[in-house]
Structure 1
Amino acid sequence: MSIDPAARRASIDARSPLFYSNPNAAYAALHSHCPTFYWEEQKQWFFTGYDHVNALLRDRRFGRQILHIASREDLGLPEPDQHVANFDLAERYSLLELEPPEHTRLRTLVNRAFVSRHVEKMKPELEELANRLIDQFEHKGEVELLSAFADIIPVTMIARMIGIPEEMGPQLLKWSHAYIRMYLFGRTRADEDGAEQAATEFADYVKTVIAERRANPRDDLLTHMIHTEHKGQYLTEDELVSTTIVLLNAGHEATVHQIGNSVRMILDSGYVPAQLFKDEETTERTVEESLRICAPVHIFQRWALEPAEIDGISFKRGDKVSLILAAANLDPLKFTDPLTFRPDRREAPNLSFGAGIHFCIGAPLARLELNVVLPILFERLPGLKLAKTPEVKDVYHFHGLDRLDLNWPSR
């Protein structure tokens, strides 16, 4: 990477292993020279400062969509690519993409299932699942943790909540991995074609489950979304498909990454795991510190809905800006020694789940999963250590591992 502090511009190759394997080093350099910068390759302004990112996430002059207030012609935007038409259709009513009033209506219908008091009831199921998975490899003395543990827990739990058969887990993972490649920096035509196929198959499958739930309602989130009205309105078929897909994707993809990231960080930190997880308070602080320093999702983008000036940069309606949540978590103006894992911190809350109206609806579930499964893993496998250097996925602006090979002394 190269940085021109005077011009507030930076050139960063997001496909370089030097960057995506350790983005925190690049973020530290940006904080030192130009926390607000124009990323040459992305042709967009980016914010890394904690206060700016936190404020922009809540600033209603900026939104996740723009075409609800202006046409493509008005903004000079090209027509959508037809080779990803089904992907765009699956995204059209995504909670991540909508603005009020549509966002408010959809979120109100879904939110009840994700509030902390409801999610907390899943703790026994989580404990049982984590222990059952560890039972399958504990005697071996080694494991590739992502495929044997981290991949399985979040997708199983979100499938149970929504009402998708658990045996669909492996297929959901395949669709999700292909689907999210549309969000990668430097995506290829092959990435787009794969995401289009995944979106088509994913949507077709969800429609069959919706039809089955209409005929045979159950006590699950999908049935709730189908049969509950908000101010006299029910969700349409397209809204149900988009909402189900985004909940399945967001409900497991980031948590898979975060389980792997957290385990790696703890093993590299030199801390004794038994001390990090000795009670609920220390466990919670350990989880929050791991979310701060190795967040699974790094960037959220916003459209300027009206003219605005932020940190001396003028934006007109239709401009796009990017907020690097993971870099905001490392702001030296907010966090002392920000690149160091310190679970005893009592500083600003991390921004890994966003803020404002688009604060991650699944945050209570993700936090519960991390607070439950990490202590169980380290308690069940004393002496746990890295068997080899972990491989980081080339999936920026997500951050996770391809593999996490571990071993422990046999007993």
Structure 2
Amino acid sequence: MPAISIDRTLRRVSIDARDPAFYRDPLAAYAEIHAQCPAFFWEERQQWYFAGYDLVNALLRDRRFGRQILHVATRDELGLPLPKPHLKDFDALEAHSLLELEPPAHTRLRTLVNRAFVSRQIEQLRPDIEQLSHALIDSFADDGEVELLKSFAETLPVTIIARMLGIPVEAAPDLLDWSHRMVRMYVFNPSYETELDANQASADFADYLRGIIAEKCRTPADDLLTHMITSEKDGERLSEAELVSTTALLLNAGHEATVHQIGNAVKTILQSGLPAKDLFATETATALTVEECLRFAAPLHIFQRYALSDIELDEGVTLRKGDKIGLLLGAANVDPKKFTGPNAFRPTRDEGANVSFGAGLHFCIGAPLARLELNLALPILFQRLPNMRLKNEPEVKDAFHFHGLERLDLVW
């Protein structure tokens, strides 16, 4: 159990996000928070956080909050520091990111991209995902052991999203490297060295994408990137900067969380002792198992938003314009008021939706793709390797935001 201090009266919580006992298994801390103050002021973070399912779900949809703030206030007004010069390339990629925008810019961008991610379009990828899953397993099935993240969990989603976009699959190692270096920026208090490295990765990623975009303009193809280049809304097309940001986001988000979720799911299922043949016996059983893995071992634990005005929440929390709040998706998924015995892995559970993909305006655009990949890849993996087991206790990444494994060594 991590060291956690809770003042129930003042609703203040002290907990070190870098404490291995916390980030390796935050469920015990979440249980304490749910029992004492699911809306709390996190001392170390100096902002309000929310853990209850109903409130997190409502705040994700509440238009009084947004992912950006400078469209309604100035830096001077809010006392925000100036952008860091050494992060200019990282910030440039973020500037037009769907994840960071609010309407009307968000609406325009999302409309141009959304068509490729609706379920009927994604369903057409089923044969590709199945074929690739088998091909990857073929490459290590006779070895008797594998480190699953690099050999399977990383390669599958990055290959699929690259093919969708029309990015050469041979670039996958670079795409993964750039992505991993960039997402380190989202942990609490990244170091100066991390910032420099993320900025360099952003610059290299953007340069690469500009080259690909130029080639697509010269030679259009039947892929998502060409679609984004040529699509119009109200007579407008995406600018090069918007194309670069959107493509980088889709490549990063299109695999980063899915990698963690495949690893988390395999670890969870193997540690549960439940027979995989039952968990994946039918499409319905598979879907329930996948949703329970998403609930119980979510890859993303925090989604942050700004108060766009002075707000008084019903919970007695007073927020000023520009205040940041943290929505604990991982905690909401184990709220005992929503899920019975929430800290137990029960694949037959059918108690409503998890919030692992968010909700509202910024609901994950790639959710249908991620769900299809999980619903196909996990059964194939367990059918092909029915005797696989954990070689050792997997090490959890030192990053509270993203709950994932450093590596996942399996033997059979």
* TM-score over 0.5 for the pair: yes
1:185 and 1:9 map into 2 onto residues whose CA distance is 19
**Which residue identity does 1:135 align to in structure 2?**
D
Partner residue of 1:372?
A: 376
Contact 1:292 1:329 in 2 (8 A): yes
1:25 and 1:258 map into 2 onto residues whose CA distance is 20
Offset, 1:191: 1.1
**Which residue identity does 1:147 align to in structure 2?**
K
1:135 and 1:406 map into 2 onto residues whose CA distance is 15
CA RMSD of aligned residues (A): 0.7
1:292-307 equivalences under 5 Å are 292-307=295-310
2:247 and 2:84 map into 1 onto residues whose CA distance is 24
Give CA-to-partner distance per residue, 1:248-304, whole Å, 9 cap, x none: 000000000000000000001121000000010000000000000110011111111
2:140 and 2:277 map into 1 onto residues whose CA distance is 21
1:262 and 1:32 map into 2 onto residues whose CA distance is 27
Q: Identify the match of residue 401 of structure 1 among 397, 405, 408.
A: 405
1:274-353 equivalences under 5 Å are 274-310=277-313, 311-353=315-357
Partner residue of 2:250?
A: 247
1:88 and 1:276 map into 2 onto residues whose CA distance is 43
**Which residue identity does 1:396 align to in structure 2?**
F
Partner residue of 1:220?
A: 223
Give CA-to-partner distance per residue, 1:161-186, whole Å, 9 cap, x none: 11110011111111000000110013
**Which residue identity does 1:403 align to in structure 2?**
R
1:13 and 1:192 map into 2 onto residues whose CA distance is 22
**Which residue identity does 1:49 align to in structure 2?**
G
SS at match of 2:406: strand
Q: Which moved more, 1:21-30 or 1:331-340?
A: 21-30
Partner residue of 2:178?
A: 175
Give CA-to-partner distance per residue, 1:44-99, whole Å, 9 cap, x none: 10000001100000000001111111111111111111110110011001000000
SS at match of 2:124: helix
Offset, 1:346: 1.6
2:242 and 2:192 map into 1 onto residues whose CA distance is 27
**Which residue identity does 2:133 align to in structure 1?**
A
1:133 and 1:97 map into 2 onto residues whose CA distance is 34
SS at match of 2:6: strand
2:119 and 2:32 map into 1 onto residues whose CA distance is 37
2:399 and 2:161 map into 1 onto residues whose CA distance is 22
Partner residue of 1:53?
A: 56
1:66 and 1:77 map into 2 onto residues whose CA distance is 10
Partner residue of 1:103?
A: 106
2:268 and 2:82 map into 1 onto residues whose CA distance is 43
Partner residue of 2:140?
A: 137
Offset, 1:355: 0.3
Give CA-to-partner distance per residue, 1:15-53, whole Å, 9 cap, x none: 121111111221111111111111111111000000110
Partner residue of 1:209?
A: 212
SS at match of 2:246: helix
1:177 and 1:346 map into 2 onto residues whose CA distance is 34
1:353-368 equivalences under 5 Å are 353-368=357-372
2:236 and 2:67 map into 1 onto residues whose CA distance is 23
The answer to whether the aligner puts 1:115 opposite 2:112 as a matched pair is no
**Which residue identity does 2:382 align to in structure 1?**
F
**Which residue identity does 1:45 align to in structure 2?**
W
SS at match of 2:259: helix
Offset, 1:221: 0.7
**Which residue identity does 1:369 align to in structure 2?**
E
1:108 and 1:82 map into 2 onto residues whose CA distance is 32
SS at match of 1:96: helix
Q: Identify the match of residue 390 of structure 1 among 394, 397, 403.
A: 394
Q: Give me the TM-score of the superposition, normalised by structure 1.
A: 0.98
Give CA-to-partner distance per residue, 1:315-365, whole Å, 9 cap, x none: 121111110111000000000000000011121210000000100000000
Contact 1:47 1:322 in 2 (8 A): yes
2:136 and 2:363 map into 1 onto residues whose CA distance is 31
1:2 and 1:365 map into 2 onto residues whose CA distance is 40
2:247 and 2:399 map into 1 onto residues whose CA distance is 23
Q: Give me the TM-score of the superposition, normalised by structure 2.
A: 0.98
**Which residue identity does 2:243 align to in structure 1?**
L
Number of residue pairs matched?
Answer: 408
Q: Which moved more, 1:106-115 or 1:182-191?
A: 182-191
2:15 and 2:25 map into 1 onto residues whose CA distance is 13
Contact 1:15 1:186 in 2 (8 A): no
1:262 and 1:235 map into 2 onto residues whose CA distance is 37
**Which residue identity does 1:391 align to in structure 2?**
E
1:186 and 1:352 map into 2 onto residues whose CA distance is 23
1:239 and 1:74 map into 2 onto residues whose CA distance is 28
Offset, 1:306: 1.5
1:200 and 1:12 map into 2 onto residues whose CA distance is 35
Contact 1:179 1:199 in 2 (8 A): yes
1:114 and 1:348 map into 2 onto residues whose CA distance is 23
SS at match of 1:105: helix
Instruction: Mark the runs of 5 or more structure 1 residues left unpaired by the alignment.
Output: none
1:72 and 1:186 map into 2 onto residues whose CA distance is 20
Partner residue of 1:21?
A: 24
SS at match of 1:204: helix
* Identity rate, percent: 62
